[in-house]
Amino acid sequence: MTGLDSTSRPVALTSSGVDRAAQHRLDEVWLAAAWSHPSTRVFVVSGGQVLVEETPDGTTELVMTPAFDAPETETHRYFLGIDPDGVRYFALQKDTLPGRMDEAARPAGLREVGGLLSPLEAGLMVHAVALENWQRMHRFCSRCGERTVIAAAGHIRRCPACGAEHYPRTDPAVIMLVTDEEDRALLGRQVLWPEGRFSTLAGFVEPGESIEAAVRREVAEEVGVTVGEVEYMASQPWPFPSSLMLGFTARATTSEITVDGEEIHEARWFSRDDLRTAFESGEVLPPFGISIAARLIEQWYGKPLPRPGTGR
Ligand SMILES: [Zn+2]
């Protein structure tokens, strides 16, 4: 079967259920009406953070208000889409988050709350954070150097001098669970990671390269292992600042490991028993919560990954 097991939860950040309704982005009359509609919901995004609050039943929610309560900055208004109930969503990009509306609200980033928010709210947040990252880093025209202006409700930047239109940038990256003939999984520890933190290998696709070739090249560069068959599994937006993670499984045709020492400090082959023992003893730390890496490892493992000390 291709793809991650659809009977389990979806990959985090991938299933908002919101219609982006791109046909409305250039329609100022429609956008103005949508903005002022009483059912419309708005949240502020600033530096990759939003305000969230915990409800009495323990769930985490995005703090959203009707537009008339939202701090107005027209030029930094992103239209994000329409949900199945017809509610329209906007994000406002601000230099700072607004003061706390009540004691429960607090600032939070996507890595922290991407897995806590509802899929709809996580999807809205990832869209807004990705747009904000792009806007912040592309204020000037790459053709002529003039300052550009926002258009299309946050989805285009236009150059008033040369007329160029600039679109949001997404950088494809491959992330792969490599297995060998014995169905052991190859996990590595990046140079900057703490002792014991192992995960799948990953790397950026280079210009003029297919994603399958990128998988083989990255594995060869990082750990010296040759990969044959490559199978696409699923993708995940990863706006830190602008990546799209393309998840694969890959079959190794060699098993000797030679780490590059620059990106990967240490790499090992794990059987399922090895991994369970290592997780339970705390020798190996589980991968980060919302990353597709955890799902790729879990798919191979066959069930939810054990946590330290659970003895599951
Ligand atoms: Zn220009």
Domains present along the chain, CATH in parentheses: 22-137 (3.90.79), 171-301 (3.90.79.10)
The pLDDT of 107-127, averaged and rounded, is 95
Distance 134 CA to ligand 1 centre (A): 17
Separation between Cα atoms, residue 18 and residue 120, nearest integer Å? 7
Distance 147 CA to ligand 1 centre (A): 8
Reported as a single tens digit per residue, the pLDDT across 27-39 is: 999 999 999 999 9
Query: Would the pLDDT of 312 be above 50?
Result: no
Distance 159 CA to ligand 1 centre (A): 5
**Confidence label for 73 from pLDDT (cuts 50, 70 and 90):** low
Closest of 121, 97, 126, 85 to residue 239, by C-alpha:
126
Distance 304 CA to ligand 1 centre (A): 51
**Confidence label for 308 from pLDDT (cuts 50, 70 and 90):** low
Distances 296 to 83, 170, 254, 290 between C-alpha atoms, Å:
29, 22, 21, 12
Distance 94 CA to ligand 1 centre (A): 25
Question: Which range has the worst mean pLDDT, 4-8, 68-72, 98-102, 113-117?
Answer: 4-8
Q: What percent of the chain has pLDDT over 70?
A: 93
Q: Which of left, alpha, beta for 296 (phi over 0: left; psi -120 to 50: alpha)?
A: alpha
Pairing mode, strands 149-151 and 106-109: unpaired
pTM over 0.85: yes
Task: Report the SS3 class of residue 58.
Answer: coil
Distance 164 CA to ligand 1 centre (A): 5
Distance 287 CA to ligand 1 centre (A): 43
Distance 268 CA to ligand 1 centre (A): 49
Distance 138 CA to ligand 1 centre (A): 12
